A and B are shown apart, each in its own frame.
Chain A
Amino acid sequence: MSDPVQISVRNLSVYYGKQHVLRGITLDIPSRHVLGIIGPAGSGKTAFLRTLNRLNDLNPDSRMEGKILMGETEITHSDCDVVSLRKRVGMVFALPVPLPLSIYDNLAYGPRLSGIRKRFQLDEIVERSLKAAVLWEEVKDRLQTSAFRLSGGQQQRLCLARVLAMEPEVVLLDEPCSGLDPISTARIEEALMTLKATHTIVLVTNNTKQAARVADTTAFFLMGELIEVGPTSRLFVAPTDSRTNEYISGRFG
Protein backbone atom coordinates (compact mmCIF):
# COMPACT_ATOMS: atom_id res chain seq x y z
CA MET A 1 0.00 0.00 0.00
CA SER A 2 1.50 3.27 -1.10
CA ASP A 3 -0.65 5.54 1.11
CA PRO A 4 1.25 6.93 4.06
CA VAL A 5 0.22 5.42 7.35
CA GLN A 6 -1.92 7.74 9.43
CA ILE A 7 -2.35 5.55 12.47
CA SER A 8 -0.03 2.82 13.51
CA VAL A 9 -1.16 0.50 16.30
CA ARG A 10 1.46 -1.74 17.89
CA ASN A 11 0.70 -4.62 20.21
CA LEU A 12 -2.18 -2.81 21.85
CA SER A 13 -3.87 -4.41 24.85
CA VAL A 14 -6.69 -2.86 26.83
CA TYR A 15 -8.08 -4.01 30.13
CA TYR A 16 -11.33 -2.92 31.80
CA GLY A 17 -10.64 -3.90 35.39
CA LYS A 18 -9.68 -7.55 35.21
CA GLN A 19 -11.28 -8.02 31.83
CA HIS A 20 -8.80 -8.26 28.94
CA VAL A 21 -10.82 -6.57 26.18
CA LEU A 22 -8.16 -6.10 23.48
CA ARG A 23 -5.34 -8.57 23.03
CA GLY A 24 -2.19 -7.48 21.28
CA ILE A 25 -3.67 -5.61 18.33
CA THR A 26 -1.19 -4.58 15.63
CA LEU A 27 -2.64 -2.68 12.71
CA ASP A 28 -1.78 0.14 10.29
CA ILE A 29 -4.44 2.53 9.07
CA PRO A 30 -3.36 4.37 5.90
CA SER A 31 -4.38 7.98 5.59
CA ARG A 32 -7.42 8.91 3.47
CA HIS A 33 -8.72 5.44 3.73
CA VAL A 34 -11.81 3.81 5.26
CA LEU A 35 -11.08 1.04 7.73
CA GLY A 36 -14.17 -1.00 8.56
CA ILE A 37 -14.15 -2.93 11.81
CA ILE A 38 -16.55 -5.84 12.11
CA GLY A 39 -17.09 -8.48 14.76
CA PRO A 40 -19.79 -9.81 17.06
CA ALA A 41 -20.86 -8.04 20.28
CA GLY A 42 -18.10 -8.02 22.88
CA SER A 43 -15.32 -8.47 20.34
CA GLY A 44 -13.58 -5.21 21.29
CA LYS A 45 -14.52 -3.09 18.27
CA THR A 46 -15.76 -0.15 20.31
CA ALA A 47 -12.97 -0.49 22.88
CA PHE A 48 -10.51 -0.23 20.00
CA LEU A 49 -12.21 2.85 18.59
CA ARG A 50 -12.19 4.50 22.02
CA THR A 51 -8.44 4.07 22.38
CA LEU A 52 -7.91 6.05 19.18
CA ASN A 53 -9.11 9.28 20.83
CA ARG A 54 -8.38 8.18 24.40
CA LEU A 55 -12.04 8.02 25.38
CA ASN A 56 -11.19 4.98 27.47
CA ASP A 57 -9.42 7.39 29.84
CA LEU A 58 -12.88 8.36 31.08
CA ASN A 59 -13.23 4.88 32.48
CA PRO A 60 -11.07 4.81 35.66
CA ASP A 61 -10.87 1.02 35.51
CA SER A 62 -9.28 0.94 32.08
CA ARG A 63 -5.63 0.25 31.45
CA MET A 64 -3.71 0.23 28.20
CA GLU A 65 -0.49 -1.44 27.00
CA GLY A 66 1.27 -1.08 23.69
CA LYS A 67 1.60 1.91 21.46
CA ILE A 68 -0.46 3.96 19.01
CA LEU A 69 1.25 6.46 16.73
CA MET A 70 -0.73 9.08 14.86
CA GLY A 71 1.72 10.63 12.44
CA GLU A 72 4.60 11.56 14.73
CA THR A 73 2.54 11.72 17.91
CA GLU A 74 2.46 8.82 20.30
CA ILE A 75 -1.13 9.20 21.42
CA THR A 76 -0.88 6.48 24.04
CA HIS A 77 1.84 8.42 25.86
CA SER A 78 0.86 9.96 29.18
CA ASP A 79 2.18 13.37 28.00
CA CYS A 80 -0.15 13.42 25.02
CA ASP A 81 -2.48 16.43 25.04
CA VAL A 82 -5.82 14.66 25.01
CA VAL A 83 -7.86 17.79 24.23
CA SER A 84 -5.94 18.55 21.06
CA LEU A 85 -5.93 14.84 20.19
CA ARG A 86 -9.73 14.83 20.27
CA LYS A 87 -9.75 17.81 17.90
CA ARG A 88 -7.65 15.78 15.49
CA VAL A 89 -9.79 12.69 16.00
CA GLY A 90 -13.53 13.29 15.90
CA MET A 91 -16.12 10.73 16.83
CA VAL A 92 -19.71 9.98 15.85
CA PHE A 93 -21.70 7.68 18.13
CA ALA A 94 -24.46 5.18 17.47
CA LEU A 95 -27.22 7.46 18.72
CA PRO A 96 -27.29 11.02 17.44
CA VAL A 97 -26.82 13.52 20.26
CA PRO A 98 -27.72 16.98 18.98
CA LEU A 99 -27.17 19.84 21.40
CA PRO A 100 -30.42 21.57 22.44
CA LEU A 101 -29.63 24.45 20.08
CA SER A 102 -30.42 25.47 16.53
CA ILE A 103 -28.89 23.59 13.61
CA TYR A 104 -26.53 26.51 13.06
CA ASP A 105 -25.41 26.70 16.67
CA ASN A 106 -24.86 22.97 16.88
CA LEU A 107 -22.22 23.39 14.19
CA ALA A 108 -20.80 26.71 15.38
CA TYR A 109 -20.47 25.52 18.98
CA GLY A 110 -17.08 23.85 18.67
CA PRO A 111 -15.45 26.49 16.45
CA ARG A 112 -16.71 29.24 18.82
CA LEU A 113 -15.18 27.42 21.78
CA SER A 114 -11.88 27.31 19.98
CA GLY A 115 -12.02 31.07 19.44
CA ILE A 116 -13.62 31.68 16.08
CA ARG A 117 -16.01 34.65 16.49
CA LYS A 118 -16.34 36.22 13.05
CA ARG A 119 -19.76 35.59 11.62
CA PHE A 120 -18.59 35.08 8.04
CA GLN A 121 -16.06 32.50 9.18
CA LEU A 122 -18.68 30.62 11.15
CA ASP A 123 -21.10 30.81 8.21
CA GLU A 124 -18.45 29.31 6.01
CA ILE A 125 -17.71 26.48 8.47
CA VAL A 126 -21.42 25.68 8.91
CA GLU A 127 -22.04 25.50 5.18
CA ARG A 128 -18.90 23.50 4.42
CA SER A 129 -19.55 20.96 7.18
CA LEU A 130 -23.20 20.49 6.29
CA LYS A 131 -22.27 20.00 2.65
CA ALA A 132 -19.61 17.46 3.57
CA ALA A 133 -22.16 15.54 5.63
CA VAL A 134 -24.67 15.63 2.71
CA LEU A 135 -27.19 17.60 4.80
CA TRP A 136 -26.90 21.14 3.43
CA GLU A 137 -29.59 20.89 0.75
CA GLU A 138 -32.15 19.64 3.28
CA VAL A 139 -31.57 22.29 5.98
CA LYS A 140 -30.09 25.36 4.32
CA ASP A 141 -33.41 27.27 4.56
CA ARG A 142 -34.00 26.52 8.24
CA LEU A 143 -30.63 26.77 9.94
CA GLN A 144 -32.16 28.57 12.92
CA THR A 145 -34.70 25.85 13.75
CA SER A 146 -33.98 23.48 16.61
CA ALA A 147 -31.81 20.48 15.78
CA PHE A 148 -34.42 18.32 17.51
CA ARG A 149 -36.83 19.04 14.65
CA LEU A 150 -34.65 16.94 12.33
CA SER A 151 -35.32 13.27 11.60
CA GLY A 152 -33.05 10.62 13.13
CA GLY A 153 -31.06 10.26 9.93
CA GLN A 154 -30.67 14.01 9.62
CA GLN A 155 -29.63 14.30 13.26
CA GLN A 156 -26.92 11.70 12.68
CA ARG A 157 -25.61 13.63 9.67
CA LEU A 158 -25.75 16.79 11.82
CA CYS A 159 -23.51 15.04 14.35
CA LEU A 160 -21.14 14.07 11.57
CA ALA A 161 -21.15 17.68 10.33
CA ARG A 162 -20.45 18.89 13.90
CA VAL A 163 -17.40 16.65 14.02
CA LEU A 164 -16.26 17.90 10.62
CA ALA A 165 -16.64 21.53 11.70
CA MET A 166 -13.58 20.99 13.90
CA GLU A 167 -11.58 19.90 10.85
CA PRO A 168 -10.32 16.61 12.27
CA GLU A 169 -7.81 14.43 10.43
CA VAL A 170 -9.47 11.24 11.55
CA VAL A 171 -13.18 10.49 11.94
CA LEU A 172 -14.25 7.58 14.13
CA LEU A 173 -17.76 6.24 13.71
CA ASP A 174 -19.28 3.77 16.12
CA GLU A 175 -22.18 2.02 14.40
CA PRO A 176 -23.41 5.33 12.98
CA CYS A 177 -26.32 3.78 11.09
CA SER A 178 -27.59 1.29 13.65
CA GLY A 179 -30.87 3.12 14.16
CA LEU A 180 -31.35 4.44 10.64
CA ASP A 181 -33.55 3.47 7.72
CA PRO A 182 -31.89 2.34 4.44
CA ILE A 183 -32.18 5.77 2.77
CA SER A 184 -30.59 7.62 5.70
CA THR A 185 -27.94 4.90 5.86
CA ALA A 186 -27.20 5.41 2.17
CA ARG A 187 -26.80 9.19 2.78
CA ILE A 188 -24.29 8.60 5.58
CA GLU A 189 -22.40 6.13 3.41
CA GLU A 190 -22.39 8.63 0.56
CA ALA A 191 -20.92 11.24 2.89
CA LEU A 192 -18.20 8.80 4.01
CA MET A 193 -17.24 7.96 0.45
CA THR A 194 -16.70 11.66 -0.26
CA LEU A 195 -15.00 12.34 3.05
CA LYS A 196 -12.30 9.77 2.54
CA ALA A 197 -10.70 12.01 -0.06
CA THR A 198 -9.69 14.30 2.80
CA HIS A 199 -10.04 12.27 6.00
CA THR A 200 -9.03 8.96 7.49
CA ILE A 201 -12.13 7.09 8.59
CA VAL A 202 -12.52 4.24 11.04
CA LEU A 203 -16.00 2.73 10.89
CA VAL A 204 -17.19 0.22 13.45
CA THR A 205 -20.26 -1.54 12.17
CA ASN A 206 -22.48 -4.46 13.07
CA ASN A 207 -23.64 -4.55 9.51
CA THR A 208 -21.03 -6.53 7.57
CA LYS A 209 -22.68 -5.49 4.31
CA GLN A 210 -22.02 -1.87 5.23
CA ALA A 211 -18.32 -2.61 5.69
CA ALA A 212 -18.39 -4.37 2.31
CA ARG A 213 -19.94 -1.29 0.68
CA VAL A 214 -17.88 1.43 2.32
CA ALA A 215 -14.56 0.19 3.68
CA ASP A 216 -11.33 -0.05 1.69
CA THR A 217 -9.88 -2.35 4.31
CA THR A 218 -11.83 -4.49 6.72
CA ALA A 219 -10.65 -5.84 10.07
CA PHE A 220 -12.41 -8.69 11.84
CA PHE A 221 -12.26 -8.69 15.65
CA LEU A 222 -13.28 -11.63 17.81
CA MET A 223 -13.06 -11.78 21.61
CA GLY A 224 -10.53 -8.97 21.76
CA GLU A 225 -8.29 -10.34 19.04
CA LEU A 226 -7.70 -9.09 15.54
CA ILE A 227 -8.40 -12.25 13.56
CA GLU A 228 -7.89 -10.94 10.07
CA VAL A 229 -7.41 -7.65 8.26
CA GLY A 230 -7.21 -7.13 4.52
CA PRO A 231 -8.61 -5.38 1.46
CA THR A 232 -12.40 -5.52 1.70
CA SER A 233 -12.69 -6.96 -1.80
CA ARG A 234 -10.50 -9.89 -0.80
CA LEU A 235 -11.85 -10.43 2.70
CA PHE A 236 -15.45 -10.73 1.52
CA VAL A 237 -14.65 -13.12 -1.32
CA ALA A 238 -11.92 -15.31 0.09
CA PRO A 239 -11.15 -14.70 3.77
CA THR A 240 -8.11 -16.60 5.01
CA ASP A 241 -9.44 -17.45 8.45
CA SER A 242 -12.39 -19.82 8.76
CA ARG A 243 -13.80 -17.75 11.65
CA THR A 244 -13.99 -14.71 9.36
CA ASN A 245 -15.78 -16.83 6.78
CA GLU A 246 -18.28 -18.05 9.36
CA TYR A 247 -18.92 -14.56 10.75
CA ILE A 248 -19.39 -12.70 7.48
CA SER A 249 -21.61 -15.41 6.05
CA GLY A 250 -23.81 -14.96 9.11
CA ARG A 251 -23.19 -18.31 10.77
CA PHE A 252 -22.57 -16.73 14.17
CA GLY A 253 -22.54 -13.30 15.78
Chain B
Amino acid sequence: MNIALQREIDKLKRQILALSAEVESDVRAAVRSEENRDPALARSVIEREAQINAMEVDVEEECLKMLALYQPVAGDLRYIIAVLKINQDLERIGDLAVHIAERGLFLCDLPRVEIPHRLGAMADKVQAMLKKVLDAFVNLNEAAAREVCAGDIEIDEIHREIFQQVKDAVIRDPTTFESVLQILHVSRHLERIGDHATNIAEDLIYLIEGRIVRHTPEVSDKGQAK
Protein backbone atom coordinates (compact mmCIF):
# COMPACT_ATOMS: atom_id res chain seq x y z
CA MET B 1 0.00 0.00 0.00
CA ASN B 2 2.82 2.30 0.85
CA ILE B 3 4.53 1.56 -2.46
CA ALA B 4 1.31 2.47 -4.26
CA LEU B 5 1.14 5.77 -2.36
CA GLN B 6 4.78 6.48 -3.14
CA ARG B 7 4.09 5.89 -6.82
CA GLU B 8 1.11 8.26 -6.68
CA ILE B 9 3.22 10.90 -4.94
CA ASP B 10 5.89 10.60 -7.63
CA LYS B 11 3.22 11.04 -10.27
CA LEU B 12 1.79 14.07 -8.44
CA LYS B 13 5.27 15.56 -8.25
CA ARG B 14 5.65 15.25 -12.03
CA GLN B 15 2.22 16.84 -12.57
CA ILE B 16 2.82 19.85 -10.33
CA LEU B 17 6.30 20.39 -11.80
CA ALA B 18 4.86 20.34 -15.31
CA LEU B 19 2.28 22.92 -14.23
CA SER B 20 4.92 25.13 -12.63
CA ALA B 21 7.12 24.97 -15.75
CA GLU B 22 4.12 25.95 -17.87
CA VAL B 23 3.22 28.88 -15.59
CA GLU B 24 6.81 30.08 -15.39
CA SER B 25 7.13 30.17 -19.16
CA ASP B 26 3.76 31.95 -19.46
CA VAL B 27 4.92 34.70 -17.14
CA ARG B 28 8.10 35.06 -19.17
CA ALA B 29 6.18 35.22 -22.46
CA ALA B 30 3.62 37.67 -21.05
CA VAL B 31 6.32 40.04 -19.83
CA ARG B 32 8.15 39.80 -23.14
CA SER B 33 4.98 40.44 -25.14
CA GLU B 34 4.36 43.57 -23.12
CA GLU B 35 7.95 44.83 -23.37
CA ASN B 36 8.29 44.14 -27.10
CA ARG B 37 4.71 44.97 -28.00
CA ASP B 38 4.34 41.55 -29.56
CA PRO B 39 0.64 40.82 -30.09
CA ALA B 40 1.21 37.26 -31.37
CA LEU B 41 3.11 36.29 -28.26
CA ALA B 42 0.46 37.94 -26.06
CA ARG B 43 -2.26 35.95 -27.79
CA SER B 44 -0.40 32.70 -27.34
CA VAL B 45 -0.32 33.32 -23.56
CA ILE B 46 -4.04 34.04 -23.51
CA GLU B 47 -4.75 30.88 -25.49
CA ARG B 48 -2.79 28.69 -23.09
CA GLU B 49 -4.94 29.70 -20.12
CA ALA B 50 -7.42 26.87 -20.68
CA GLN B 51 -4.60 24.34 -20.59
CA ILE B 52 -3.26 25.70 -17.28
CA ASN B 53 -6.74 25.56 -15.81
CA ALA B 54 -7.16 21.95 -16.89
CA MET B 55 -3.79 21.03 -15.37
CA GLU B 56 -4.79 22.70 -12.09
CA VAL B 57 -8.02 20.68 -11.95
CA ASP B 58 -6.10 17.45 -12.64
CA VAL B 59 -3.66 18.12 -9.80
CA GLU B 60 -6.49 18.88 -7.39
CA GLU B 61 -8.38 15.72 -8.34
CA GLU B 62 -5.22 13.68 -7.89
CA CYS B 63 -4.66 15.13 -4.39
CA LEU B 64 -8.25 14.48 -3.32
CA LYS B 65 -8.05 10.92 -4.61
CA MET B 66 -4.84 10.28 -2.65
CA LEU B 67 -6.30 11.70 0.55
CA ALA B 68 -9.39 9.52 0.20
CA LEU B 69 -7.65 6.31 -0.79
CA TYR B 70 -4.48 6.34 1.30
CA GLN B 71 -5.21 8.60 4.28
CA PRO B 72 -1.58 9.74 4.28
CA VAL B 73 0.06 11.04 7.45
CA ALA B 74 3.13 13.07 8.47
CA GLY B 75 5.47 14.01 5.58
CA ASP B 76 3.19 12.52 2.91
CA LEU B 77 0.18 14.37 4.27
CA ARG B 78 2.06 17.67 4.38
CA TYR B 79 3.31 17.12 0.85
CA ILE B 80 -0.17 16.60 -0.56
CA ILE B 81 -1.61 19.56 1.36
CA ALA B 82 1.27 21.78 0.21
CA VAL B 83 0.74 20.69 -3.39
CA LEU B 84 -2.98 21.47 -3.12
CA LYS B 85 -2.18 25.01 -2.02
CA ILE B 86 0.75 25.59 -4.38
CA ASN B 87 -1.47 24.38 -7.20
CA GLN B 88 -3.94 27.19 -6.51
CA ASP B 89 -1.21 29.80 -6.39
CA LEU B 90 0.21 28.56 -9.69
CA GLU B 91 -3.18 28.79 -11.34
CA ARG B 92 -3.58 32.36 -10.07
CA ILE B 93 -0.12 33.24 -11.38
CA GLY B 94 -1.22 31.81 -14.74
CA ASP B 95 -4.26 34.12 -14.66
CA LEU B 96 -2.04 37.10 -13.87
CA ALA B 97 0.22 36.25 -16.80
CA VAL B 98 -2.88 36.35 -18.99
CA HIS B 99 -3.83 39.75 -17.55
CA ILE B 100 -0.34 41.06 -18.32
CA ALA B 101 -0.59 39.73 -21.87
CA GLU B 102 -3.98 41.46 -22.25
CA ARG B 103 -2.49 44.76 -21.07
CA GLY B 104 0.34 44.19 -23.56
CA LEU B 105 -2.17 43.74 -26.38
CA PHE B 106 -3.94 46.92 -25.35
CA LEU B 107 -0.66 48.84 -25.28
CA CYS B 108 0.10 47.78 -28.88
CA ASP B 109 -2.71 50.02 -30.08
CA LEU B 110 -1.72 53.02 -27.98
CA PRO B 111 0.96 55.63 -28.62
CA ARG B 112 4.21 54.86 -26.82
CA VAL B 113 4.73 56.98 -23.73
CA GLU B 114 8.09 57.26 -22.11
CA ILE B 115 8.05 57.61 -18.39
CA PRO B 116 11.07 56.63 -16.34
CA HIS B 117 9.83 53.42 -14.76
CA ARG B 118 11.42 50.24 -13.54
CA LEU B 119 8.85 47.85 -14.90
CA GLY B 120 11.55 45.88 -16.72
CA ALA B 121 13.62 45.51 -13.57
CA MET B 122 10.52 44.57 -11.61
CA ALA B 123 9.57 41.91 -14.15
CA ASP B 124 13.10 40.48 -13.96
CA LYS B 125 12.96 40.33 -10.18
CA VAL B 126 9.52 38.73 -10.10
CA GLN B 127 10.56 36.10 -12.64
CA ALA B 128 13.73 35.36 -10.68
CA MET B 129 11.64 35.04 -7.52
CA LEU B 130 9.25 32.64 -9.20
CA LYS B 131 12.09 30.57 -10.58
CA LYS B 132 13.79 30.48 -7.22
CA VAL B 133 10.69 29.32 -5.36
CA LEU B 134 9.95 26.62 -7.92
CA ASP B 135 13.56 25.40 -7.74
CA ALA B 136 13.27 25.44 -3.95
CA PHE B 137 10.16 23.29 -4.32
CA VAL B 138 12.00 20.77 -6.48
CA ASN B 139 14.94 20.58 -4.09
CA LEU B 140 12.95 21.13 -0.89
CA ASN B 141 15.32 23.97 -0.07
CA GLU B 142 14.05 25.76 2.99
CA ALA B 143 16.73 28.47 3.03
CA ALA B 144 15.85 29.48 -0.54
CA ALA B 145 12.15 29.58 0.39
CA ARG B 146 12.93 32.00 3.21
CA GLU B 147 14.93 34.22 0.83
CA VAL B 148 11.93 34.36 -1.49
CA CYS B 149 9.72 35.52 1.38
CA ALA B 150 12.20 38.27 2.19
CA GLY B 151 12.51 39.32 -1.50
CA ASP B 152 8.84 40.23 -1.73
CA ILE B 153 9.42 43.49 0.14
CA GLU B 154 11.57 44.84 -2.68
CA ILE B 155 8.89 44.06 -5.29
CA ASP B 156 6.33 45.91 -3.21
CA GLU B 157 8.63 48.94 -3.06
CA ILE B 158 9.10 49.07 -6.82
CA HIS B 159 5.34 48.86 -7.24
CA ARG B 160 4.87 51.85 -4.95
CA GLU B 161 7.51 53.74 -6.93
CA ILE B 162 5.80 52.99 -10.24
CA PHE B 163 2.49 54.13 -8.78
CA GLN B 164 4.07 57.48 -7.95
CA GLN B 165 5.64 57.81 -11.40
CA VAL B 166 2.34 57.06 -13.11
CA LYS B 167 0.60 59.62 -10.95
CA ASP B 168 3.23 62.25 -11.83
CA ALA B 169 2.99 61.43 -15.53
CA VAL B 170 -0.80 61.87 -15.58
CA ILE B 171 -0.52 65.20 -13.77
CA ARG B 172 2.11 66.34 -16.24
CA ASP B 173 0.18 65.25 -19.33
CA PRO B 174 -3.35 63.90 -18.87
CA THR B 175 -3.48 62.60 -22.47
CA THR B 176 -1.08 59.79 -21.52
CA PHE B 177 -3.60 58.53 -18.99
CA GLU B 178 -4.65 55.40 -20.88
CA SER B 179 -1.12 54.26 -21.66
CA VAL B 180 0.37 54.83 -18.24
CA LEU B 181 -2.64 53.21 -16.62
CA GLN B 182 -1.73 50.01 -18.49
CA ILE B 183 1.76 50.26 -17.02
CA LEU B 184 0.28 50.56 -13.56
CA HIS B 185 -1.89 47.51 -14.20
CA VAL B 186 1.10 45.46 -15.29
CA SER B 187 3.00 46.58 -12.21
CA ARG B 188 0.08 45.56 -10.04
CA HIS B 189 -0.12 42.12 -11.68
CA LEU B 190 3.61 41.59 -11.23
CA GLU B 191 3.32 42.59 -7.59
CA ARG B 192 0.54 40.00 -7.15
CA ILE B 193 2.69 37.32 -8.79
CA GLY B 194 5.33 38.17 -6.17
CA ASP B 195 2.71 37.64 -3.44
CA HIS B 196 1.74 34.24 -4.84
CA ALA B 197 5.40 33.24 -5.07
CA THR B 198 5.70 34.19 -1.40
CA ASN B 199 2.65 32.06 -0.58
CA ILE B 200 4.32 29.13 -2.32
CA ALA B 201 7.49 29.74 -0.29
CA GLU B 202 5.47 29.73 2.94
CA ASP B 203 3.75 26.48 1.96
CA LEU B 204 7.19 25.03 1.26
CA ILE B 205 8.41 25.95 4.71
CA TYR B 206 5.33 24.21 6.13
CA LEU B 207 6.01 21.16 4.00
CA ILE B 208 9.62 20.94 5.16
CA GLU B 209 9.28 22.04 8.77
CA GLY B 210 5.68 21.21 9.64
CA ARG B 211 5.19 24.71 11.02
CA ILE B 212 2.77 27.28 9.63
CA VAL B 213 4.77 30.51 9.21
CA ARG B 214 2.09 32.52 7.46
CA HIS B 215 1.13 35.74 9.26
CA THR B 216 4.22 35.55 11.44
CA PRO B 217 6.65 38.47 11.34
CA GLU B 218 9.73 36.20 11.26
CA VAL B 219 9.35 35.24 7.62
CA SER B 220 8.16 38.30 5.78
CA ASP B 221 6.60 41.67 6.23
CA LYS B 222 4.39 41.36 3.25
CA GLY B 223 0.95 42.75 3.29
CA GLN B 224 2.21 46.25 4.01
CA ALA B 225 2.38 47.29 0.39
CA LYS B 226 -0.73 48.40 -1.35
List A residues at the B interface (Cβ < 8 Å): 208-209, 212, 236-239, 244-245, 248-251
Please indicate the chain A residues that have their CB under 8 angstroms from the CB of B77 in the complex.
Answer: 236-237
Asked if A237 contacts B2 (CB within 8 A), the reply is no
Q: A249-B72, A249-B73 are in contact. Are A237 and B78 (CB under 8 A)?
A: yes
Cα(A200)–Cα(B43), bound, Å: 67
Given contacts A244-B74, A245-B75, 10 further A-B contacts (CB under 8 A): A208-B73, A236-B73, A237-B210, A238-B210, A238-B211, A245-B74, A249-B2, A249-B73, A249-B75, A251-B2
Max chain B C-beta neighbours (<10 A), residue from A237, A245, A250: A250
Number of interface residues of B (CB under 8 A): 14
**How far does the alpha carbon of A250 sit from the alpha carbon of B5 in the complex, in Å?**
10
Residues of A within 8 A of B1 (CB): 250
Kindly count the residue-residue contacts between A and B in the assembled complex, taking CB atoms under 8 Å apart: 34
B76 at interface, CB cutoff 8 A: yes
Q: Does B71 contact A (CB under 8 A)?
A: yes
B71→A248 contact, CB < 8 A = no
Q: Are A237 and B71 in contact (CB under 8 A)?
A: no
15 pairs, CB–CB < 8 Å, chain A vs chain B: A208-B73, A236-B73, A236-B77, A237-B73, A238-B211, A239-B210, A245-B74, A248-B74, A249-B2, A249-B72, A249-B74, A249-B75, A249-B76, A250-B1, A250-B2
List B1-41 residues whose CB lies under 8 Å from chain A: 1-2, 5
Which chain A residue has the least Cβ–Cβ distance from B77? A237
Min Cβ gap A185→B in Å is 15
Given contacts A249-B2, A250-B2, A251-B2, contact A236 B71 (CB under 8 A): no
Q: Which residues of B contact A250 (CB under 8 A)?
A: 1-2, 5
Chain A minimum-CB-distance residue to B9:
A249
